Amino acid sequence: MASDSQSTPPPSTGTLARGELTPEQRKRIQKRSENSANPSSAPPPLSQQKAKMTDTKGGFLAEEDDPFNKALHVKDGKDEKPANMTQKEWERQQLLKNLRRDRAGPFEPGISVLDEKSEQKVCRECGSLEIDWRWEEELRCRVCHACKDKFPEKYSLLTKTEAKEDYLLTDPELRDTELLPHIEKPNPHKSTWNNMMLYLRYQVEEYAFSDKKWGSPEALDAEFEKRENDKKRRREEKFKTKLDDLKKRTRVEAYRRNRKGAAGGNFGDEIGRGGRHVHQWGRSILDPETGIGTKKCVDCGMEVEELEF
C-alpha cells in the first residue's frame, strides 16, 4: 500500500517554496535591523537635509551635489562645528581663537624687565607693563585694564553714530584709520549686519577739539547750536509753505462757492450742482478685529463707522 501511495515531488532548485525569502529581501531586512540598532548610521531626517541645502537661484542643491562649487559652501557669517569634531574640541578651538584675537593668555606678548626703559611698552597712566595689547595694536593706545576702568571719561568706546552726532565728524574722517583708529566688533543687534566700529573717546575729543576740526569745545557747542537752529528754521519754513498752500486752496474753494450767488453757499452744498449733497452709502464692511462696521459714500468717498448693539 505504501508503494502505491503518491508522494509530493521535491521543489526544483530553480524555484522558491512558498514563504521563503529571496537574497535581496534578506539583505534589506538585515540593513533595517542594523539601522535600528545603530541610529547614527541611519539617514538624517528631512529637516537636517534641508538645512544643508542652498538656494542657487536655479534650484535647491546640497553641498554633496557639487563639492567644488563655492556658492554652496558659503556660511551665513556663523562658525559651525565640523562634523568630525566633538563639542569639547569645538569649544576649545573657539576659546583659542578668541584668545588669539585679543592677544591674551598664551598669545600675550612676553614682558621683560631687562629691556631698556625707552623700549618698554608701559601704561600711559600708571606705567604698568601689563597693558592691553589689542588696544596697543589696533588703537595705538598703551593703557592697562585697571586704568581703563578707572578713567571711563577718557577710555570709553564710542560707536560711529555717537561720534558723528556728538562731535559732528564726517564719514571720511571716521574711515581714516591713520586719523582715528578703531576696533571692530560683531553687531549685537543682528549678526548679519555690518560690524560695529568703536572709537576711543579721548582720541575723538583730541581731534574734534584740535585746530584741524573745531578748535575748542566752545566752538563745537556753537556749531551744534547753529545746526539745530538751521534744522528748526527748515522745519518752520516747510510748515509755513504747507500752511500757505492750504490757505490758497481754501480761498479758491470760497471763491467758487461765492460765484453761485450773492448769498453764497452753505456748508455741504454741492459745487457745480444745485442743492445739497446727499450721501449714497454703500454696504457696511465689518472689521473682524474691532467688530466695527465701516461704510463709504460712493460719490464723495466719505467713510463713517457704525456699531450695532
The mean of the pLDDT values for the chain is: 77
Tell me, what's the pLDDT at 1? 44
| 45, pLDDT greater than 80 | no
C-beta atoms surrounding 135 within 10 Å: 22
pTM of the complete model: 0.48
Which residue type is seen at 182?
H
Asked if 56 and 72 count as a contact pair (C-beta separation under 8 A), the reply is yes
| 41, pLDDT greater than 80 | no
Q: Which residue did the predictor score with more confidence, 280 or 269?
A: 280
Tell me, what's the pLDDT at 273? 58
Tell me, what's the pLDDT at 84? 80
Between CA 292 and CA 301, with CA 295 as vertex, the angle to 5 degrees is 135
Asked if 52 and 66 count as a contact pair (C-beta separation under 8 A), the reply is no
The secondary structure element, H or E, covering residue 138 is helix 133-138
Q: Which residue did the predictor score with more confidence, 287 or 273?
A: 287
Cell of 115: 629691556
Name the residue ranges covered by the structural domains of the chain.
91-155
pLDDT tens digits along 124-168: 888 888 888 888 888 989 899 889 989 999 999 999 999 999 999
Tell me, what's the pLDDT at 46? 60
pLDDT mean over 256-265: 58
| 200, pLDDT greater than 90 | yes
Asked if 136 and 142 count as a contact pair (C-beta separation under 8 A), the reply is yes
Rounded Cα gap, residues 299 and 282, in angstroms: 10
Nearest to 180 by CA among 153, 208, 148: 208
Cell of 292: 466695527
DSSP symbols for 145-210: HHHHHH-HHHH-EEEHHHHHHHH---HHHHH-TTTS--EEE--SS-TTSPPEEEEEHHHHHHHHTS
pLDDT tens digits along 63-118: 555 555 555 555 544 567 777 888 888 888 888 888 777 767 666 665 655 566 67
Most confident of 28-37, 229-238, 267-276: 229-238
